[in-house]
Amino acid sequence: MAASVNETNDVTLAKPIRCIVKLGGAAITCKNELEKINEENLEIVSSQLRQTMISSDNVVSLDWSKRPGTSDISCNVDSFGDQLSFDANKFIVVHGAGSFGHFQASKSGVHKGGMDQPLVKAGFVATRISVTTLNLEIVRALAREGIPSIGMSPFSCGWSTSGRNIASADLPAVAKAIESGFIPVLHGDAVFDDIQGCTILSGDVIIRHLAEHLKPEYVVFLTDVFGVYDRPPTKPDAVLLKEIAVSEDGSWSVIKPTLQDMNKQVETTVAAHDTTGGMETKISEAAMIAKLGIDVYIVKAATSHSLWVLSGEVRGNVPDDWLGTVIRRVSR
């Protein structure tokens, strides 16, 4: 049974979570090609998570599924022994939809509600088929790296909203999975909404809720660009914002670099099919996480810079040669 938001305050873990990692949809899928995974990026990201989160050099695949082009299932039970008793950091993965789900949700208007409309109901089904397909492939990619990943779709796990704000979330189930030695893999999903019937619950909103109640040491957003820019990074004069400070009242300002008229003057773009708010939502949710005293790092996936931040080496003083954006709370 899904726990109400108020009940999730009682969720405690024996050992703190090291981090929550957001796999941006644009980083792990080919966003301009419908339902196409960026296999290279996903493989590198999965490998980096194994290198930084699991203390084991011996990779034993946990994906025993039949792969395309193969005639059998590869599984050597004798190779396991005590392999799964490795010392793994506790962490959570949340991924976006990218080229999965957004098209279906946008075409049908699922994010606007109206479950009584045939098109919306059909879109709800189509959206969930698409996003859960991606979730399975991400779980499999992590499992092939020996990461004991478990897909936990929000709709199936009892997450719902009221006026597009989270109304219920079964965090005890997430905590149970973590305490049992698994790595939960959640994602943006179509969910029921008490007021408008249904909506899209974005991965960025899910991360903020998880961070608020499970208190990770830090949060990492892996994206398709090096961080937050003062304008769309495709523009030639775009400037990477290295550090953003969040005040206790939730307001934020750019600390590094120091540029005139930079405070909150950040242009954002949202793809026509993106029903979750794009970078604007990401910055807003990241600022709310940082307000809790949890540092947030936004960095390009599958790069040396993402490996650096996942390892925790960027925490504290950010090296000048690290490319990314850190968002943290400051007292004034």
Q: Is 158 annotated for ligand binding?
A: no
Residue with tokens 């954006």: 325
Q: Is 245 annotated for ligand binding?
A: no
Q: Is 169 annotated for ligand binding?
A: no
Q: How many CB atoms lie within 10 A of CB 13?
A: 13
**Which of the 8 DSSP states describes residue 303?**
S
Q: How far apart are the first and last CA of the chain?
A: 42
Q: Is 324 annotated for ligand binding?
A: no
Sort strands 183-187 and 149-151 into parallel, antiparallel or unpaired.
Answer: parallel
Q: Is there a contact between 58 and 83 (Cβ–Cβ < 8 Å)?
A: yes
Q: Is 224 annotated for ligand binding?
A: yes
Q: Phi and psi of 216, rounded to 5°?
A: -70, 165
Q: Is there a contact between 138 and 150 (Cβ–Cβ < 8 Å)?
A: no
Q: Is there a contact between 135 and 37 (Cβ–Cβ < 8 Å)?
A: no
Q: Which of 34, 31, 87 is nearest to 58 (CA)?
A: 87
Annotated binding site for substrate: 97, 102, 203
Annotated binding site for ATP: 98, 224, 278, 282
Annotated binding site: 97-98, 102, 203, 224, 278, 282
